[in-house]
């Protein structure tokens, strides 16, 4: 198989400009994808630094290194009024802030936080989220000389207490000292010695109060802290910078019309390399090929159950569903959906997952490619896309297996 020769559309998200993602094929621009986001947003650039991206500019993200991936997120709000200005945080005990520190943006706008006593900490009261909802706290932290730091979430009631365990400047593990309403927590390493730490929990107070202890058990130890974010939702999203007010990042969207010439109308293959931000609820719609409605479409999305993955072929109200369970929806998969009346198949990571002999005929031309959910309540795609290809005719089993092998 020669993928370039056989494919009618190839879009690896490398070339882009405001409101557009360039397709590698066709080269005349007829397969270019439109893009929109009515706000600025952030990404991890090729140097591993956090970078602000302007309104309507696609985000090619390099988290974890390797090739860039198109980052697509739903709308989120950072309810923390100050993501980085630690002079606006309240100090308890003896705290010294030192400005001019290297930050996660590659600049020198961060603050070093020193505790003069073991019980000293800084905190911020973050409001705006209702009681009893799932929320996620996150921050960017770099160690200077602390042995164990701590994040303590409490206003009237404790939500969680997490210790950050350092070996030198390396964050080796997190320990939940108190898990009250804690759901999950983790961290990832970034460039420049920074780590992003996050915790998902159920809110117990209308105001979220996060105490940041540079060190527990020792005094006069130091960390660098920033990127303070509190958002409603079951996982952390890209950083939303704030300075005195809450800020909302509008959802990314891509809906491209006029693509009937690159979409197989009676048979074909939809191929993508994708990953979700979460392996459970909420639904995350990925890609839809359609006639601009929910009557004729091919759709792939992540379901509400743990690691659930679904494929839908719909023709004039008749539905053909394929459902499978992935090992981990947050890891990249290669998926190919062969749609053909009497012979539909789904391959994931080199293996045939499911097939169907049901017959169907699309009653209107397929001409639209969406990242989002026509027929699924316009649900956003919350994840990353690394490869997208369309083939105008069916492929044989060996070719589908090769195409989807990681």
Q: Is the peptide bond before 282 cis (omega within 30 degrees of 0)?
A: yes
More confident of the two residues 200 and 282? 200
Percent of the chain with pLDDT over 70: 98
243 C-beta neighbours (distance < 10 Å), count: 11
The yes-or-no verdict on residue 331 having pLDDT over 90 is: yes
Radius of gyration, alpha carbons of the chain: 23
pLDDT at residue 65 tops 90: no
Residue 377 has pLDDT above 90, yes or no: no
Alpha-carbon span 137 to 230, nearest angstrom: 5
Distances (CA, A) of 260 to 36, 131, 257, 354: 21, 48, 8, 27
Q: Can you tell me the mean pLDDT for 255-270?
A: 94
Kindly list the structural domains of the chain, giving each domain's residue range(s) and its CATH number in brackets, ordered by start: 3-75+252-403 (2.60.120.200), 77-249 (2.60.120.260)
Distance, in Å, from the CA atom of 73 to the CA atom of 71, rounded to the nearest integer, reads: 7
Distance in angstroms (rounded) separating the CA atoms of residues 72 and 43: 11
**Mean pLDDT (whole number) for 246-255:** 94
Prediction pTM value = 0.94
Residues sharing a CB contact under 8 Å with residue 380, sequence separation 6 or more, in sequence order: 72, 73, 74, 75, 251, 252, 253, 284, 285, 372, 373
The number of C-alpha atoms within 13 Å of 124 and in the hemisphere containing its C-beta is 23
Confidence band, pLDDT 50/70/90 cuts, at residue 374: low
Check residue 284 and give its pLDDT. Answer: 81
- The answer for residues whose C-beta is within 8 angstroms of residue 382's C-beta and 6 or more apart is 72, 73, 74, 237, 276, 277, 278, 282, 284
Strand partners, 98: 112
Q: Are 392 and 8 in contact (CB under 8 A)?
A: yes
What pLDDT, in 10s, does the model give residues 107-132? 999 999 999 999 999 999 998 899 99
Distance, in Å, from the CA atom of 40 to the CA atom of 293, rounded to the nearest integer, reads 29
């Amino acid at each position: 198989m020669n993928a370039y020769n056989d494919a009618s559309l190839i879009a690896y998200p490398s070339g882009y400009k405001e409101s557009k993602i360039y397709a590698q094929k066709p080269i005349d621009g007829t397969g270019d994808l439109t893009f929109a986001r009515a706000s600025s947003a952030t990404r991890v650039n090729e140097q591993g630094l956090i970078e602000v991206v302007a309104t309507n500019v696609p985000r090619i993200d390099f988290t974890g290194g390797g090739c860039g991936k198109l980052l697509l997120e739903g709308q989120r709000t950072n309810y923390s009024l100050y993501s980085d200005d630690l002079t606006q945080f309240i100090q308890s005990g003896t705290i010294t802030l030192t400005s001019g520190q290297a930050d996660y943006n590659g600049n020198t706008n961060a603050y070093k936080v020193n505790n003069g006593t073991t019980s000293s900490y800084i905190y911020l009261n973050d409001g705006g989220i209702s009681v009893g909802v799932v929320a996620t706290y996150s921050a960017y932290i770099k160690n200077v000389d602390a042995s164990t730091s701590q994040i303590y979430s409490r206003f009237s009631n404790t939500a969680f207490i997490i210790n950050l365990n350092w070996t030198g400047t390396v964050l080796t593990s997190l320990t939940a000292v108190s898990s009250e309403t804690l759901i999950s927590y983790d961290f990832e390493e970034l460039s420049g010695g920074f780590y992003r730490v996050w915790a998902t929990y159920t809110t117990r107070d209308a105001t979220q109060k996060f105490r940041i202890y540079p060190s527990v058990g020792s005094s006069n130890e130091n960390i660098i802290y920033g990127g303070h974010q509190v958002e409603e939702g079951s996982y952390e999203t890209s950083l939303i910078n704030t300075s005195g007010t809450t800020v909302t990042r509008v959802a990314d969207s891509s809906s491209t019309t006029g693509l009937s010439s690159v979409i197989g109308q009676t048979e074909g293959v939809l191929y993508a390399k994708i990953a979700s931000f979460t392996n459970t609820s909420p639904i995350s719609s990925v890609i839809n090929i359609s006639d601009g409605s929910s009557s004729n479409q091919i759709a792939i999305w992540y379901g509400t159950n743990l690691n659930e993955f679904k494929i839908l072929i719909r023709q004039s109200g008749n539905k053909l569903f394929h459902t499978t369970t992935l090992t981990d929806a947050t890891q990249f998969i290669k998926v190919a959906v062969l749609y053909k009346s009497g012979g539909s198949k789904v391959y994931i990571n080199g293996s045939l997952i499911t097939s169907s002999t049901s017959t169907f005929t699309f009653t209107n031309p397929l001409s639209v490619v969406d990242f989002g959910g026509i027929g699924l309540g316009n649900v956003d795609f919350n994840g990353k896309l690394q490869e997208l290809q369309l083939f105008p005719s069916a492929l044989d089993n060996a070719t589908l297996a090769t195409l989807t092998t990681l």
